């Protein structure tokens, strides 16, 4: 049995991570309690999955909602979470709009702070934006709209999504918006737009194959494995 | 003109000694620090300097050594130094680079540069008077005019006290129709009743009509108050003769007006701040606004909304903004590049900001922590 907390930056990350966990573990063995931060306070926004009791994995999923930064939230809550029986904390943030070449320095600075936490804490940086991971599942564009094969996207906006290193995309959310725009769709911060994308992603691919070519995603799923099974699979 | 640097010393060698190490400031500044660290005091030092330069303070300070750098829009840096003791001037000096514009020591005669010849000529004034104010002459000493204009155009408010209903809404403070009709006088900074917000609003509505009201309502909306109208009128539930005037607002979800004595303290402070920050767009813009304890008494959403509005107003209005706060919501909302952290070690006050600690600020920002965490880590070195 595991009990761990995941702190994410926004609602897109929250619904993506929630779906990823359920795809990995199923609804019988997992219970996710969700919270969102507003004005420095954490509000419960309901639970998903198995009822409380004999579940294998209890996850607290916290949306820091932009104005509450992930690292601050982890530092603020670490003691209480340890006292409440959680054995690990995982954070997920991005660095947009800061340049990617600062990534290693940020990892180092962050690790130096997290080492003093009262329970194991790790923070994963989805490099530019989490939407880069969505783009890595290039087949999802066809599931979004059958008129969106990679060749068509390349022809229209000059980007070969199949070949591109997604971590090098400067503004992944904007690229996603441009691609969906080709067929009259859009992508922004609205919940329904995030749900639409998250619902058509191939999680088997994102968990098993995409990490080979997307280092940040590999770090994240490895940390999830450690949190659930105490070691990477 | 912008106040770029300030350095201050008071009661040197005395138990009461208090020193502010040289500190630089930008266009928008949030001064943060723990209680009793000296936030308000440093704001008072800057506002006090403006007051004496503008001749608004009749009696000089008992003790105080100022060194201030004022930069003109063309980038010319004037350094003004004044040393006062027992309400008398010990030394007064104005320079720009290597050029001396004004110098006087003790009670002896001073020298001032005349334009356009550039000669230093002698002058003698009383030691309880400031030459920079007394020698104003736009033909002979035009450089003094620029500095005086800056000083006269500063405004100093205490969000938590002066913005309270008691300061402006006391029933004894009445507004006459003559004052409202004489629209120029109350809007000028020298007007002695300028602190009476209801008078300012009445005059501004009378003079600028709907655009002024719409601007206030739009800003209040951004702060988080859904208002559909506002104005000034008789306060209906204060029975006095003659009846007192006050501000009222119409909240969209209420059927009646909310008069200023019925407003929550938070709403009133926010409304006061918004009104004062809107006036520059319609009248003459201030050079600098000193706003103490901003956000005090407001909830999270209103604090955040107010800060956004104030920064927008300062950027749009072109004035320098100095705010103090130790409010977590305010701190998290204001970018670190605008921060000045006050660190007091006994009687010595240091200011840490982007100007002198850029690398440290940048490194912190990379961590992705709340700004408030920087305050927690850096404000405790007392």
- The predicted structure's pLDDT at residue B79: 97
pLDDT tens-digit map of A38-47 = 888 899 999 9
Q: Provide, as residue numbers in chain B, all residues whose Cβ is less than 8 Å from the Cβ of A109.
A: 363, 366-367
- The predicted structure's pLDDT at residue A97: 82
**Residues B327-340, mean pLDDT to the nearest whole number:** 91
Q: What are phi and psi of A67, to 5 degrees?
A: -70, -15
- The predicted structure's pLDDT at residue B113: 95
Confidence band, pLDDT 50/70/90 cuts, at residue A233: low
Rounded CA gap, A167 and A172, in Å? 9
pLDDT tens-digit map of B277-307 = 888 778 777 889 999 999 888 888 899 899 9
Q: Provide, as residue numbers in chain B, all residues whose Cβ is less than 8 Å from the Cβ of A38.
A: 300
* Residue to substitute from B368, B369, B374, B377, interface A, most A β-carbons within 10 A: B368
pLDDT tens-digit map of A81-131 = 999 999 999 999 998 888 888 899 999 999 999 999 999 999 999 989 999
Rounded CA gap, B154 and A17, in Å? 52
- Its ipTM equals 0.78
Closest B-chain CA to A68:
B370
- What number of C-beta contacts closer than 8 Å exist between A and B? 39
- The predicted structure's pLDDT at residue B172: 42
Residue from A191, A199, A203, A209 nearest A144 by CA: A199
Instruction: Give me the residues of B, 286-305, that contact A with CB < 8 A.
Output: 299-301, 304
- Residue A62: enclosing H or E segment and its boundaries? strand A57-63
Task: Give B192 to chain A, closest Cα distance, Å.
Answer: 40
Q: Is the peptide bond before B204 cis (omega within 30 degrees of 0)?
A: no
Taking an 8 Å cut-off on Cβ atoms, the answer to whether B366 and A102 are in contact is yes
Taking the Cβ of residue B359 and every Cβ of chain A, the question of whether any pair is shorter than 8 Å is answered with no
Full-prediction pTM beyond 0.95?
Answer: no
- Residue A123: enclosing H or E segment and its boundaries? strand A121-125
Q: Provide, as residue numbers in chain A, all residues whose Cβ is less than 8 Å from the Cβ of B368.
A: 69-71, 93, 95, 106, 110
DSSP letter, residue B10: E
- The predicted structure's pLDDT at residue B382: 44
Rounded CA gap, A36 and B154, in Å? 42
**Residues B105-110, mean pLDDT to the nearest whole number:** 89
Taking an 8 Å cut-off on Cβ atoms, the answer to whether B369 and A98 are in contact is no
Residue from B149, B147, B184 nearest B283 by CA: B184
B189-to-B37, B153, B183, B283 alpha-carbon distances in Å: 31, 7, 13, 10
Whether the Cβ atoms of residue B293 and residue B43 lie closer than 8 Å to each other: no
Taking the Cβ of residue A8 and every Cβ of chain B, the question of whether any pair is shorter than 8 Å is answered with no
DSSP letter, residue B233: E
- The predicted structure's pLDDT at residue A47: 93
Residue with tokens 């962050």: A110
**Residues B3-16, mean pLDDT to the nearest whole number:** 93
Instruction: Give me the residues of A, 103-132, that contact B with CB < 8 A.
Output: 105-106, 109-110, 113
Taking the Cβ of residue B360 and every Cβ of chain A, the question of whether any pair is shorter than 8 Å is answered with no
Taking an 8 Å cut-off on Cβ atoms, the answer to whether A69 and B329 are in contact is no
A96, burial (CB in 10 Å: exposed 0-12, middle 13-18, buried 19+):
buried
């Amino acid at each position: 049995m595991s009990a761990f907390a995941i702190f994410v930056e926004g609602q897109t990350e929250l619904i993506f991570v929630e779906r990823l966990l359920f795809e990995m573990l199923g609804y019988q063995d997992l219970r996710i309690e969700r919270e969102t931060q507003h004005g420095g306070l954490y509000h419960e926004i309901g639970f998903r999955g198995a009822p409380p009791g004999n579940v294998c994995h209890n996850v607290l999923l916290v949306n820091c909602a932009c104005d509450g930064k992930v690292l601050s939230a982890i530092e603020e809550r670490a003691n209480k979470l340890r006292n409440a029986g959680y054995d690990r904390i995982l954070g997920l943030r991005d660095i947009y709009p800061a340049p990617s070449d600062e990534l290693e320095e940020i990892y180092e600075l962050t690790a130096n702070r997290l080492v003093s936490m009262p329970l194991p804490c790790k923070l994963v940086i989805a490099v530019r934006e989490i939407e880069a991971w969505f783009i890595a599942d290039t087949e999802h564009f066809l599931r979004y709209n059958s008129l969106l094969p990679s060749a068509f996207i390349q022809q229209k906006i000059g980007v070969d999504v199949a070949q591109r290193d997604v971590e090098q995309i400067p503004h992944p959310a904007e690229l996603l918006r441009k691609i969906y725009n080709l067929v009259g769709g859009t992508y922004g911060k609205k919940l329904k737009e995030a749900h639409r994308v998250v619902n058509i992603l191939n999680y088997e691919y994102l968990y098993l194959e995409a990490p080979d070519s997307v280092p940040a995603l590999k770090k994240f799923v490895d940390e999830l494995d450690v949190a659930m099974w105490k070691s990477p699979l | 003109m912008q106040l770029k640097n300030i350095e201050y010393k008071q009661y040197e060698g005395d138990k009461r000694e208090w020193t502010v190490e040289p500190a630089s400031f930008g266009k928008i500044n949030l001064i943060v620090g723990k209680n009793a660290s000296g936030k308000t005091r440093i704001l008072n030092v800057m506002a006090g300097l403006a007051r004496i330069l503008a001749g608004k303070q009749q009696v000089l300070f008992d003790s105080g050594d100022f060194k201030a750098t004022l930069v003109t829009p063309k980038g010319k840096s004037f350094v003004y130094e004044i040393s006062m003791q027992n309400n008398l001037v010990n030394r007064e000096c104005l320079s720009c680079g290597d050029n001396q514009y004004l110098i006087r020591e003790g009670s002896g005669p001073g020298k001032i540069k005349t334009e356009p010849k550039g000669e230093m000529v002698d002058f003698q004034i009383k030691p309880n008077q400031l030459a920079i104010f007394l020698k104003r002459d736009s033909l002979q000493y035009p450089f003094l005019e620029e500095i005086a204009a800056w000083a006269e155009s500063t405004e100093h408010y205490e969000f938590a006290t002066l913005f309270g209903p008691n300061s402006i809404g006391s029933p004894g403070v009445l507004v006459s129709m003559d004052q409202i009709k004489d629209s120029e006088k109350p809007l000028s900074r020298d007007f002695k009743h300028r602190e009476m917000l209801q008078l300012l609003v009445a005059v501004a509505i009378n003079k600028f009509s709907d655009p002024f009201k719409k601007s206030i309502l739009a800003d209040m909306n951004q702060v988080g108050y859904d208002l559909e109208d506002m104005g000034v009128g008789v306060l209906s539930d204060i029975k006095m003769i003659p009846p007192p005037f006050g501000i009222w607002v119409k909240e969209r979800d209420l059927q009646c007006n909310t008069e200023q004595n019925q407003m929550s303290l938070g709403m009133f402070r926010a409304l006061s701040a918004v009104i004062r920050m809107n006036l520059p767009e319609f009248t003459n813009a201030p050079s600098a606004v000193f706003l103490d304890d901003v956000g005090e008494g407001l909830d999270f959403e209103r604090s955040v909304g107010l800060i956004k509005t104030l920064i927008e107003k300062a950027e749009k209005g072109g004035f320098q903004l100095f705010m103090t706060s130790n409010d977590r919501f305010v701190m998290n909302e204001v970018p670190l590049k605008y921060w000045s952290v006050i660190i007091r070690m006994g009687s010595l006050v240091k200011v840490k900001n982007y100007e002198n600690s850029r690398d440290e600020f940048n490194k912190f920002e990379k961590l992705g922590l709340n700004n408030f965490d920087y305050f927690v880590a850096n404000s405790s070195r007392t």
